[in-house]
Structures are given as C-alpha cells and as structure tokens.
Amino acid sequence: MTYDLYIGDRTFSSWSLRGWLMLEKFSIPYRAHMVGLYDGTMAQDLADLAPARLVPVMRCPDGVVIGETMAMAEELAQRHPDAGLWPADPAARGLARWITAEMHAGFAALRGACPMQLLHVYEGFTPTAAVIEDLARLEQLWTLARNRYGRGGPWLFGAYSLADAFYAPVAARIAGYGLDVGALAQAYVETTLSDPAFKAWRAEGLKRSYDPVPYAMDLPTAPWPFD
C-alpha cells in the first residue's frame, strides 16, 4: 500500500518539503515524483491529478488524489491512526493542530520576504517590521508548545509530529537568512536542520544546479550550517 507523492524542486519548494516529511518521518510507504516547478511543465505534470495545480499532491493507495498539505495531513492521520502523526494527548493535539493551521494560513511577511532556499546563508539581510512581528509570533507558539508539551524530546511536542513537518521550512528560513531569534527557537532550528531526514532532502536537492538561481539576493553568502 504505497502513496504517490508529487513534489517540486527540493531546494526551494517549502510546501513539497512539508508533504514529503509527512510520509518520510512516519515511515509511510511512498514513491516521490518530481514536477517541473521551475521548468514550466507543472500543469502538464499534474494533468492526471485534477483539480491539482500546485505541489505537493498525493495519490493514495486506493487512487484518491489529495492536494493542499493540511488536507493531506488530516487524511494521513485518519488512514494511519497508530502512526503518531498528531500528539496522543488531547490538549497537546489541539494545540498542535492549531499552530499547524496557523502556519498553513499565516506568516505571509516572513514567507514573502524570505523564500525557502537551502543553498547557503545570506549575510546582511535586514528584516522588515512585519517579518520581525512574524518571528515574534513564531517564538511565542514554539515556546508555548515546548514548555507545555515538549519535555519528552527535542521537537515541539516532544516526539516528532505533523507540526514539526509544517514548521521545518520556517526553521530553514531562519537559518537561510540569518534571522535573529531567541535561544529556544534557535535550538529548535538546529534540531530541525540537523535531522537526518531534512539533511537527506537537502542533499538530494543539491544534485541540481540553477542558472539563474530562484529567489537570488544581491547579498554575500556563507555556507549552510549543520552540513
């Protein structure tokens, strides 16, 4: 019983990273299929998955097609109730769903100003007031989750959950643009970027080069941390 997961370029597609982690981190069997996100073939590549028009998209073993990562997350949690995709404790599960949904719908300033890129660290990036506000909200949510429910492990709710899958690209943005966060948030960024699954995703993405590089900024760069 294997899922088919359609993803975009690993170095830049934040939503694809979320979808991949949902399957990879919970040992749910899948096949990954690359979609031409930057090659102009995405519509053609997704033609058999209507009404999908964006990545990631998931075809379930029974043929059901689901797009949008929140819908994919809930479908996987329903189909695999023993996999631990959400925290078992009802209060923790409620908060995990809340902050995951907020990530899915919010943080527009951070996401717009700092597109995910896993190539290097931009030095000298100056965040706007709106980005700083988004970072403050992130730290509030991460601190709440870690302090209430994170005692049993390094992730937001102790054990890895779908919330961590959704926030992985945010951790990458904080690192990739050298954004200033507090000690708890920085420790969580380091946990995320040092995770073997994240490192494997990035390594696979680096096999491809780009000219021009998407989202390139006219700033000096430093090596990616935690290689």
pLDDT for 137: 98
pLDDT greater than 90 at residue 92: yes
At 194-227, the pLDDT tens digits run 999 999 999 999 999 999 999 999 999 999 998 8
pLDDT for 46: 97
pLDDT for 226: 87
* Class for the domain spanning 90-204: mainly alpha
At 127-148, the pLDDT tens digits run 999 999 999 999 999 999 999 9
User: Residues of the chain with pLDDT > 90: what percent?
Assistant: 97
**Secondary structure class of 193 (helix, strand, coil):** helix
pLDDT greater than 90 at residue 59: yes
Alpha-carbon distance 199 to 195, whole Å? 6
pLDDT for 176: 98
pLDDT for 227: 82
Strand blocks (E) in the chain:
3-7, 30-34, 57-59, 65-67, 121-122, 221-222
pLDDT greater than 90 at residue 112: yes
Cβ-Cβ contacts under 8 Å for 50 (sequence gap 6 or more): none
Distances, alpha carbon 142 to alpha carbons 17, 184, 227, in Å:
20, 8, 24
Sequence spans of domains, the chain: 3-79, 90-204
Q: Which residue has the higher pLDDT, 227 or 2?
A: 2
pLDDT for 43: 94
* Closest-CA residue to 172 (of 100, 101, 120): 120
pLDDT greater than 90 at residue 170: yes
When pLDDT is averaged across residues 53-57 and rounded to a whole number, the result is: 97
pLDDT greater than 90 at residue 161: yes
**Secondary structure class of 214 (helix, strand, coil):** coil
CATH superfamily of 3-79: Glutaredoxin (3.40.30.10)
Structural tokens at position 69: 């990562």
When pLDDT is averaged across residues 108-132 and rounded to a whole number, the result is: 98
pLDDT for 111: 97
When pLDDT is averaged across residues 102-120 and rounded to a whole number, the result is: 97
Q: Are 175 and 225 in contact (CB under 8 A)?
A: yes
